[in-house]
């Protein structure tokens, strides 16, 4: 009898233990995305969004609240929901891909750049009012939501060298979450660091001679100093850094790719000081990697838990991310879109 009670007790204990275990182990979704024929640029971008938690949650919140009937919006929601699933190994985003081609690339079916895809997708979501699209009244609720999406403002100031009068004009897009950074000539180290790219971004440009600008105060064309600035809104919870790897090469009169690696600390923690000297801390959650050249190549995503390459998911507890951050490369590809999540103190 004593033995029987003991067995029942052990059985209940085991049941409790297995329940506890199930509740304790977080279920990390890691679903691949099937390729629809040259759709790796879409798959990689969607996986990077999914793995950048604050961006993903914000987007899901607004997709769930959206009344848009646009099939692109519906299929984006379905695809992101499927990535949250733990059933199956790869989702087939065929309807999303079909709607992307018809909606985003109506006039340019050849467009297959992950950076263009991200900005075009965001612009479409603004058109559909899924994400706020116009500068709101400061202090309003809409203002808060706007700031969470459009935290990076870039502007260009022009200062007359004679009267020191100036004007400032916002760059297009007026406000965004994507900071595109042009790449300077490579220094002796043969690689880039982020502070260098940010300094290069804000470098002054002297406009004189044929390039002199009309100054209204001086009522004449005068030498001007041009300066690009960027500011980061304190409400911004994520941002995307895009080193501009594809550029027009004047010597060959063709597009070319800059493959120089961009190197970070292995922690993936990034401190960014904007043009007002305001410091923000971010952590790199996911990176879209590109292998190849302008005429063709392949995209995949490296995140904090592994590598997402179309339908194939390789979980590695962050090993690939560490390699990518410290060498600028993963496999034969270079980091192209960096998804950053804000760190709050």
Rg of the chain taking only CA atoms, in angstroms: 24
Write down the least CB distance from residue 275 to Zn ion, Å: 23
CA 166 to chain centre: 33
Provide CB contacts within 8 A for 340, sequence distance 6+: 52, 238, 239, 240, 241, 270, 282, 283, 284, 285
Mark residues 163-202: x for contact with Zn ion by CB under 5 A, - for none. Answer: x-x-------------------------------------
Chain-centre distance for alpha carbon 129 = 20
Rank residues 163 and 343 by Cβ distance to Zn ion and give the closer one. Answer: 163
The reply to whether 160 sits near Zn ion by the rule CB under 5 A is: yes
Q: How far is the CB of 288 from Zn ion (least distance, A)?
A: 44
Map tokens 């192209």 to a residue.
336
Examine residue 220 and tell whether it contacts Zn ion (CB under 5 A): no
SS (H, E, C) 225-243: EEEEEEEECCCCCEEEEEE
332 binds Zn ion (CB under 5 A): no
For residues 99 and 70, give the distance between their C-alpha atoms in angstroms, rounded to a whole number. Answer: 9
Output 129 or 225, the one with its CB closest to Zn ion. Answer: 225
* Residue 217 interacting with Zn ion (CB under 5 A): yes
Which CB sits closer to Zn ion, 167 or 247?
167
Bond into 173 cis (ω within 30): yes
Two structure tokens written together for 178 = 């994507």
Interacting span for Zn ion (CB under 5 A) from 197-205, 221-229, 250-258, 309-317: 221-229
Q: How many residues at the interface with Zn ion, by CB under 5 A?
A: 8
Query: What's the rounded Cα separation, in Å, for the pair 278 and 298?
Result: 37
Listed ranges 218-226, 256-264, 309-317, 321-329: which one lies at the site for Zn ion (CB under 5 A)? 218-226
Options 215, 263, 289, 313; binder of Zn ion; rule CB under 5 A: 215
Cα–Cα distance between 268 and 266 in angstroms, integer?
5
Give yes or no for residue 224 binding Zn ion (CB under 5 A).
no
- H or E segment and range at residue 303: strand 296-303
Q: Is 214 in the site for Zn ion (CB under 5 A)?
A: no
**Among the residue ranges 103-111, 121-129, 193-201, 212-220, the one whose residues contact Zn ion (CB under 5 A):** 212-220
Tell me which residues touch Zn ion (CB under 5 A). 160, 162-163, 165, 215, 217-218, 222
């Amino acid at each position: 009898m004593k033995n029987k009670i003991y067995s029942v007790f052990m059985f209940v204990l085991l049941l409790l233990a297995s329940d506890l275990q199930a509740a304790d182990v977080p279920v990390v979704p890691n679903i691949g995305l099937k390729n629809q024929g040259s759709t790796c640029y879409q798959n990689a971008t969607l996986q990077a969004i999914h793995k950048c938690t604050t961006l993903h949650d914000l987007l899901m919140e607004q997709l769930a609240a959206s009344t848009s009937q646009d099939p692109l919006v519906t299929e984006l929601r379905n695809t992101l929901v499927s990535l949250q699933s733990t059933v199956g190994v790869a989702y087939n985003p065929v309807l999303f891909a079909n709607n992307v081609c018809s909606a985003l690339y109506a006039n340019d079916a050849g467009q297959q750049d992950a950076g263009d895809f991200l900005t075009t997708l965001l612009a479409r979501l603004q058109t559909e009012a899924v994400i706020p699209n116009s500068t709101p009244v400061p202090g309003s609720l809409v203002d808060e939501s706007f700031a969470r999406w459009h935290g990076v403002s870039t502007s260009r100031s022009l200062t007359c060298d004679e009267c020191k009068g100036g004007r400032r004009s916002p760059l297009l897009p007026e406000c965004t979450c994507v900071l595109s950074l042009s790449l300077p000539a490579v220094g002796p180290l043969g690689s880039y660091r982020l502070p260098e790219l940010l300094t290069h971004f804000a470098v002054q440009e002297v406009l004189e001679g044929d390039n002199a600008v009309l100054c209204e105060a001086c009522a004449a064309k005068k030498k001007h100093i041009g300066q690009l600035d960027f500011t980061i809104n304190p409400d911004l919870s994520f941002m995307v850094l895009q080193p501009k790897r594809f550029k027009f090469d004047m010597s060959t009169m063709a597009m070319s790719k800059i493959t120089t690696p961009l190197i970070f600390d292995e922690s993936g923690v990034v401190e960014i000081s904007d043009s007002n000297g305001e410091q923000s801390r971010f952590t790199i959650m996911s990176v879209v990697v590109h292998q190849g050249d302008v005429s063709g190549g392949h995209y995949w995503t490296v995140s904090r838990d592994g590598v997402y390459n179309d339908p194939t998911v390789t979980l590695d507890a962050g090993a690939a991310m560490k390699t990518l951050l410290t060498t600028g490369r993963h496999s034969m590809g270079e980091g192209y879109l960096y998804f950053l999540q804000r760190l709050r103190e």
